[in-house]
């Protein structure tokens, strides 16, 4: 068991004033079997109307509306989380067996899957590890090549991508193997940005697997949201009135407490 303190801050600066700004924020962790929230807080500037709810996947969502003119938005989520071994006991939603927007198994994914030659006698965890190993041999982690709209097939075609792309590809391969899998957004220890990994389903429980680091997750990861793919788990999404360029600044720090 470990205890982590996290601080996540995003600032969006606009080149011109905007108004009637609607935001949906998924930046607050929830309680799970392996994850207990001891403290949590969120602050948003400039002040606006805020309502708290949940999406169709049970992720915590803050809905924000800022009517007045403003040239920046800043939100910060912070708190303390207690973590045990990564496992979530849950009844399976069969939705996670089927392809989604970013995980469609196109011909290049089919070819990669066949090349891996999964053995039926291997356990589910062993099969996921084999699929992740295959991704490591086919992909190189390179920021700035893909976007949030890049599909698993497109990133495999390029042979480069970031955690989101590796997660989408592993999900696609898992589902092709008949292993339920879902996309997860969250934080991991250190400083930098949000991270993406997957959960695979085995004998009544979800387990975490990080294809970027090619390992099954034991602990040290704070889960924020899950869904079919990135489309269901974006940290922030917004629309506003006005014509303006946007500049995004993100800061994340996750450290272990004694």
Query: Where in the chain do CATH 2.60.40.2250 domains reside?
Result: 2-84+235-257
Of the pLDDT bands very low, low, confident and very high (cuts 50, 70, 90), residue 192 is confident
* Higher local confidence (pLDDT), 51 or 258: 51
User: What pLDDT was estimated at residue 120?
Assistant: 84
- Which pLDDT tens digit goes with each residue over 200-229? 999 999 999 999 999 999 999 999 999 999
pLDDT at 191 over 90: no
Percent of the chain exceeding pLDDT 70 equals 100
Domain 2-84+235-257 has CATH 2.60.40.2250: yes
- Which pLDDT tens digit goes with each residue over 67-89? 999 999 999 999 999 999 999 99
Average pLDDT of span 101-113: 97
- Three state DSSP letters for the chain: CEEEEEEEEEEEEEEEEEEEEEEEECCCCCCECCEEEEEEEEEEECCCEEEEEECCCCCEEEEEEECCCEEEEEEEEEEEEEECCCCEECCCCHHHHCCCCCCCCCHHHHHHHHHHCCCCCCCHHHHHHHHHHHHHHHCEECCCCCCCCCCHHHHHHHCEECHHHHHHHHHHHHHHCCCCEEEEEEEECEEECCEEEEEEEECCEEEEEECCCCEECCCCEEEEEEECCHHHCCCEEEEEECCCCEEEEEEEEEEEEC
pLDDT at 258 over 90: no
CATH of 88-232, one of 3.40.50.20, 3.30.70.100, 3.10.620.30, 3.40.309.10: 3.10.620.30
pLDDT at 123 over 90: yes
pLDDT at 51 over 90: yes
Query: Where in the chain do CATH 3.10.620.30 domains reside?
Result: 88-232
């Amino acid at each position: 068991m470990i205890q982590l303190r996290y601080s996540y801050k995003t600032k969006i600066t606009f080149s011109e004033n905007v108004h009637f700004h609607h935001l949906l924020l998924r930046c607050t962790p929830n309680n799970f079997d392996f994850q207990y929230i001891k403290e949590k807080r969120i602050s948003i500037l400039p002040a606006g109307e805020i309502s708290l709810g949940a999406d169709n996947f049970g992720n915590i969502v803050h809905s924000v509306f800022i009517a007045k003119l403003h040239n920046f938005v800043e939100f910060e989520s912070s708190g303390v989380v207690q973590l045990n071994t990564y496992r979530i006991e849950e009844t399976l939603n069969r939705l996670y067996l089927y392809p989604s927007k970013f995980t469609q198994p196109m011909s290049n994914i089919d070819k990669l899957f066949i090349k891996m030659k999964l053995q039926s006698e291997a356990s589910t965890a062993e099969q996921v590890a084999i699929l992740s190993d295959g991704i490591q041999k086919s992909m190189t982690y390179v920021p700035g090549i893909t976007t949030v709209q890049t599909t698993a097939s497109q990133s495999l075609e390029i042979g480069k991508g970031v955690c989101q792309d590796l997660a989408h590809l592993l999900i696609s391969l898992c589902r092709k193997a008949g292993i339920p899998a879902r996309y997860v957004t969250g934080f991991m220890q250190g400083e930098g940005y949000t991270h993406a990994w997957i959960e695979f389903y085995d004998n009544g429980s979800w387990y975490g697997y990080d294809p970027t680091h090619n390992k099954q997750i034991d602990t040290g990861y704070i889960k924020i949201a899950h869904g079919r793919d990135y489309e269901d788990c974006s940290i922030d999404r917004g629309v506003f009135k006005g014509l303006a360029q946007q500049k995004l600044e993100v800061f994340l720090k996750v450290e272990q407490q004694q």
